[in-house]
Chains A and B, each alone.
Chain A
Amino acid sequence: MKAFLLLTILTGFSLISLKTPLPFPVPKGFPPPVYKFENNPITKSGFELGRKLFYDGQLSKDGNFPCSSCHQQYAAFSTYEHRLSHGFNNQFSARNAPGLFNLAWEKEFHWDGSINHLEVQPLAPMLNPHEMAEKLDHIIYKLNHDKEYPALFNNAFGSPGITTKRVLLALAQFTVSLVSADSKYDKMKRGEAVFNQYEKTGYGIFQEKCEGCHKEPLFTDLSYRNTGLEVDSTLLDYGRMHVTGKKEDSLKFKVPSLRNVFLTSPYGHDGRFSTISDVLEHYNIGVIQSATLDTALRKGIALTDNDKFYLIQFLGTLTDTAFVNNPLYKDPASGRLTVDR
């Protein structure tokens, strides 16, 4: 009798824990998130479903291109060492895959801000013929005929049914939970670590020369800027102008976060720089004049070899090893091969 009572109670508990809202602790010093959690409260079952979808090739046409094929945890969820990412049928994405973290603070996504909400972002790669190349009704069909998903959606949303909206909400529960705020820099800010002399000097140079755009603590002010990169003659990418249709937005791209920058090479919207030194050399001597060039960069940013050395030392403190090793974010199907290219 007692055993039965206990069993009932335990099952009750585990059912509840699936529905428990997962807290979203805002790291100290961060602004309030812009993501509206009240419209999509994160629960354990919703987060786990989103994570499973993120690692599942079924969201792509031939099964080979889950989100994780281009967003790898060890590279802070960017595409490791690829200028552009591989997608369906040996095609390339049009831009460099950025790292995925601290998305809860972003209002617009992709290098040109063409995506107006985190929840609708997955539609872009899923339906892009160069990336996952799938169709929405096929995805819903495949998930409905899967052995596990119907029950998982039921658990996560409290009633049966797999819909576009639920797929998107679940994916967002996972991606919005990717928070990186435990680098040496963060520990220094919290008084748990101290910078060495190089890092300290680099931080000073950074605050003087870079902070205007790569604003702390997100290391981006999320604005769109032209940093004087020459247009790639094959990609012909004019950035923000494609979204707004305005000439004054020509060649502007979103300021990327520099958190985990050691892990996200190559750099720039089309991955044209293979190393951070190349980027710094661009600011130093490579800036090309044009009508929409950012006023802060009219004369470039003069950097001596010493400046560059210290800056790189500082940028190294932005690597968050706890984030890239966090078991919560790992592929739940352990032992299964994921595509690494």
Chain B
Amino acid sequence: MRVRSIISGHAAIRLFAMKKPVSIPLIISATCIEKWRLSKIEYFLICLLLFLITIPGIRSIQAAEGTFIGIRPPESPNLILQFEPTVHGQPLRLLEQYKNPFGEKFELSIFRFYAGKITCSGKGRILKKIFRISDYHLVDFSDSSASLIKVRLPEGDYDEIQFQLGIDSADQGSGAQSGALDPLKGMFWTWNSGYISFKIEGKSPESNEPEHAIAYHIGGYRSPNIAVGTVKCFISGHKSFHLTDDRAIRLNIPIELDRFFNGPTPVHIRDIPSCAIPGELAHRLFENFSGLFDKIEIPGKP
């Protein structure tokens, strides 16, 4: 009889901890004692064994609750953004020579930036979303699959896409990260913690750096030299685009690199071949860069 009460106490604790039916082992263990007249020690050992067996069960249930695996299929994206960098109206190819608006020759080997926290608005309605750290995407033109971003947003008519270039100050100091924020991606300053917002590297005969390198590693989240910010891109001509739940649409976002050199702070490669630390210059070069994002184009339409 005493043994019985131990069982029910144990069962209660376990049921409470798991909130899921685990009654089968309990019934079995109760039967064990009734039928086989086990000693207390034996009973205890069996109980412990059953408990151990259920532990992986508890873990998997928790995992499932957190991520909805197996309960609801992961929602597929319904909006695909394709970033299209151009120079002189021609699609940018890495390692090909171009001239900037000041006639300076250059070629690029790396062009990457963070675009995150994507949301849309239309007809005065802004989609409010709660973003997580996984909502940052790294756009990388050396990897064609990484030059587009896939997201899922609620159905509706929209005419504007908003996103953030670079990583929020709130997320900058959040410790070890994976995915787009893995330091392995080469977008993290290790000696002065912080994520680079955009990275442009290459060569130019005009550069007086070793090996004529050019390198713009632009970022910084400490005021006043902030190089992170939100940009808004519009569809021209009062048009809109429609998002549905069941189909994905693709939109292009052009990036005219000429305007980076010819921005509010003119970037003559001879004068500014590089900038790789947060500061006033980085802040100004970020303004140049964020100014490139303003248009949305519907593919196939002029």
Contact = CB atoms under 8 A, between A and B. Distances in A.
A9 B175 contact: no
Which applies to chain A's interface (DSSP): helix, strand, loop or mixed? helix
A245 B225 contact: yes
A234 B298 CA distance: 58
A205 interface: no
A155 interface: no
B278 interface: yes
Contacts of A114: 191-193
A5 B45 contact: yes
A123 B45 contact: no
B130 interface: no
Contact of B173 (A5, A117, A164, A172): A117
A326 interface: no
Interface stretch (B13-21, B177-185, B203-211, B243-251): B177-185
B92 to A, nearest CB: 26
A244 B222 contact: yes
B221 to A, nearest CB: 9
Interface in A8-25: 8-9, 12-13, 16
Contacts of B194: 116
B49 A116 contact: no
B252 interface: no
Interface residues of A, number: 37
B231 to A, nearest CB: 24
B178 A120 contact: no
Nearest to A126: B190
B104 interface: no
Contacts of A172: 175-176
B183 A123 contact: yes
Nearest to B186: A136
B279 A39 contact: no
B176 to A, nearest CB: 4
Interface string B211-222: 000000000001
Given A5-B45, A39-B175, A172-B176, A124 B182 contact: no
11 contacts: A9-B52, A12-B48, A16-B55, A36-B175, A40-B175, A126-B190, A136-B183, A165-B176, A165-B182, A242-B192, A243-B222
Given A5-B46, A243-B192, 20 more contacts: A5-B45, A5-B49, A9-B49, A12-B48, A16-B52, A114-B192, A115-B193, A117-B175, A120-B176, A120-B188, A123-B183, A126-B190, A140-B184, A163-B178, A165-B177, A165-B182, A169-B176, A242-B192, A245-B225, A245-B279
